[in-house]
Amino acid sequence: AQTVTQSQPEMSVQEAETVTLSCTYDTSESDYYLFWYKQPPSRQMILVIRQEAYKQQNATENRFSVNFQKAAKSFSLKISDSQLGDAAMYFCAYRTFLDGGSNYKLTFGKGTLLTVNP
């Protein structure tokens, strides 16, 4: 079964600085999707960034980028120029196919709570 591990329960960063959140996963699949979701105090789950495993280029969305290391099964999230509004719980997720078909679900890590200090 696929598992997703976030080894940092909590992280903190100074405003305007850069922080990297770690995620590793276990899979035997060769083609898959990885995601980072953000859950602010409002508790809404918001997609931050998505990476397709077949793409060698790391995904980037404005201040958010990933370091995808397929062989190492590592998928870290880098937040540049951190802002107070980035404070949230961040979840790494892996898309898992169900029943060998096109049906799928997302398997989530336990999350990393990011604090941004002014």
Partner 1 sequence: DSGVTQTPKHLITATGQRVTLRCSPRSGDLSVYWYQQSLDQGLQFLIQYYNGEERAKGNILERFSAQQFPDLHSELNLSSLELGDSALYFCASSARGDTGELFFGEGSRLTVL
User: Of 37 and 82, which CB lies nearer to partner 1 in the complex structure?
Assistant: 37
Question: What is the rounded distance in angstroms from the CA atom of residue 99 to the CA atom of residue 35?
Answer: 21
Interaction residues for partner 1, span 34-63 (CB under 8 A)? 35, 37, 42-47, 50
CA torsion, ordered 5, 67, 61, 7, to nearest 10 deg: 20
Among 2, 65, 73, 108, binds partner 1 (CB under 8 A): 108
Interaction residues for partner 1, span 66-95 (CB under 8 A)? 91, 95
Among 17, 105, 115, 117, binds partner 1 (CB under 8 A): 105
User: Of 76 and 111, which CB lies nearer to partner 1 in the complex structure?
Assistant: 111
User: Of 36 and 82, which CB lies nearer to partner 1 in the complex structure?
Assistant: 36
Count residues contacting partner 1 (CB under 8 A)?
A: 24
Nearest to 21 by CA among 78, 81, 82: 78
* Distances, alpha carbon 48 to alpha carbons 32, 72, 110, in Å: 17, 22, 16
CB of 11 to partner 1, least distance (A): 17
- Which sign does the torsion angle of CA 100, 106, 111, 112 carry? positive
User: Of 9 and 12, which CB lies nearer to partner 1 in the complex structure?
Assistant: 9
Question: What is the rounded distance in angstroms from the CA atom of residue 93 to the CA atom of residue 75?
Answer: 10
